[in-house]
Amino acid sequence: MSLVSRAATDDDLPALVALQQSWDTRWFGAPEHDESEVRESLARVDPWEQRSVVVFAGERLAGAGWWWGDDTTLLVDPTALLVDPTADTTTIHDELVSWLVTSGSGHAEALSRDTSLRAALEAHGWEHWLSQFELLRDTAGLPDPAWPDGVTATALGDGAEAAYRVIYDEAGWADVPGHGQRDFTEWQGLFVAGEDPEQQVLAWQGERLVGVALGKVFSDGTGWVSQVAVPRDQQGRGLGSALLAEAFGRRVAAGANQLGLGVSAANTDALRLYRSLGLDVDREWMRYRPAG
């Protein structure tokens, strides 16, 4: 059957939600995204005419793709390329990667187990250059935060600008492979705006901000830490462990049924810390870019 591709529209949202949840179930055993999360992801895409595609096989939505960010931030939505598990995945993946090339995207992510998508990317001359791990643990036995002497924890309050400076200036977040730099407006829109301020943890030594842990509880019940940062001159004091324990404790209090975060595979120090807190690698996302 021939394929028909076009840019996504608002009218496609119900079908895109169903496709996302079908894809989730294929790879993770259950849906991990609800309508609001799919809508939030698509809201970052601009313009839709260039950066989104839906692929139909007859009347059925067989695949979809969208991306946001640019080649300076190195950011691509990790759910950017979706295929109906009952479709001809090889053909649909080839269609999606062909669109990805012409859309101007310089980056894509593939689940390590998704050999069909990886083969399509490599057939179009893309290469794997970095992996991102997602780590999970259950909520039982979560340690209490052990703060260094004189350190206290608060919620975000009016500390967004100070938190941004710690993350990008004092902790060097963008120096980690795969992170990239964000300006304040983009960062605030992604990590702060619309999120529960009580879920955002700031650590203070007197009047100095010495640690930040941001995140949320997703619709599937996963309590997530999206950013954790400690100034370079404050590292080695146990602040990272305390921040994570505090942030995870707040997620559990908000109803989380499991806890997780993501880390670059190249960030071995952070990976060692996370594993010491009982987190284990659950999945690997492989980042691809055009060869050369």
Encode pLDDT of 185-215 as tens digits. Answer: 999 998 999 999 999 999 999 999 999 999 9
Is 132 inside any structural domain? no
Helix (H) or strand (E) holding 222: strand 222-229
Is 288 inside any structural domain? no
Q: Are residues 166 and 277 in the same domain?
A: yes
Q: Are residues 86 and 179 in the same domain?
A: no
Half-sphere exposure of 269 (CA within 13 A, CB side): 6
Q: What is the CATH number of the domain that holds 42?
A: 3.40.630.30
Q: Are residues 76 and 147 in the same domain?
A: no
**Token code pair at residue 151:** 């350190």
Is 292 inside any structural domain? no
Is 96 inside any structural domain? yes
Among 44, 36, 45, CA closest to 17: 36
Boundary-marking domain end, from 124, 155, 176: 124
Q: Are residues 24 and 147 in the same domain?
A: no
What pLDDT sits at residue 124? Answer: 96
Q: pLDDT tens across 204-258, in order?
A: 999 999 999 999 999 999 999 999 999 999 999 999 999 999 999 999 999 999 9
Residue 142 and residue 225: Cα distance in Å, rounded? 15
Q: pLDDT tens across 15-68, in order?
A: 999 999 999 999 999 999 999 999 998 998 989 999 999 999 999 999 999 998
Instruction: DSSP letter for 26, please.
Output: H
What pLDDT sits at residue 82? Answer: 93
Residue 223 and residue 135: Cα distance in Å, rounded? 11
Boundary-marking domain end, from 77, 100, 124: 124
Q: Are residues 119 and 142 in the same domain?
A: no
Q: Are residues 151 and 271 in the same domain?
A: yes
What is the 3-state secondary structure of 250-272? HHHHCCCCEEEEEEECCCHHHHH
What pLDDT sits at residue 176? Answer: 85
Q: pLDDT tens across 64-84, in order?
A: 999 987 543 333 344 468 999
What pLDDT sits at residue 177? Answer: 77
Q: pLDDT tens across 258-286, in order?
A: 999 999 999 999 999 999 999 999 999 99
What pLDDT sits at residue 80? Answer: 67
Share above pLDDT 90 across residues of the chain, in percent, rounded to a whole number: 84
Is 116 inside any structural domain? yes
Q: How many CB atoms lie within 10 A of CB 50?
A: 14
Average pLDDT of the residues of the chain:
92
Among 47, 64, 93, 45, CA closest to 5: 64
Q: How many domains does the chain have?
A: 2
Q: Are residues 279 and 175 in the same domain?
A: yes
What pLDDT sits at residue 70? Answer: 54
Is 277 inside any structural domain? yes
Is 199 inside any structural domain? yes
Q: Are residues 191 and 273 in the same domain?
A: yes
Q: Are residues 70 and 183 in the same domain?
A: no
Q: Are residues 120 and 189 in the same domain?
A: no
Boundary-marking domain end, from 65, 89, 124: 124
What pLDDT sits at residue 96? Answer: 95
What pLDDT sits at residue 1? Answer: 60
Can you state the percent helix, strand and coil of the chain, rounding each to 5? 35, 30, 35
Q: Are residues 114 and 231 in the same domain?
A: no
What pLDDT sits at residue 263? Answer: 95
114: domain range? 3-124
Label residue 95 by pLDDT band (50, 70, 90): very high
Helix axes 268-276 and 239-253, enclosed angle (nearest 10): 50
Is 291 inside any structural domain? no
Helix (H) or strand (E) holding 82: strand 81-83
What pLDDT sits at residue 72? Answer: 34
* Residue range 144-148: mean pLDDT, rounded: 97
Q: pLDDT tens across 106-129, in order?
A: 888 999 999 999 999 999 999 999
Among 292, 287, 282, 289, CA closest to 133: 282
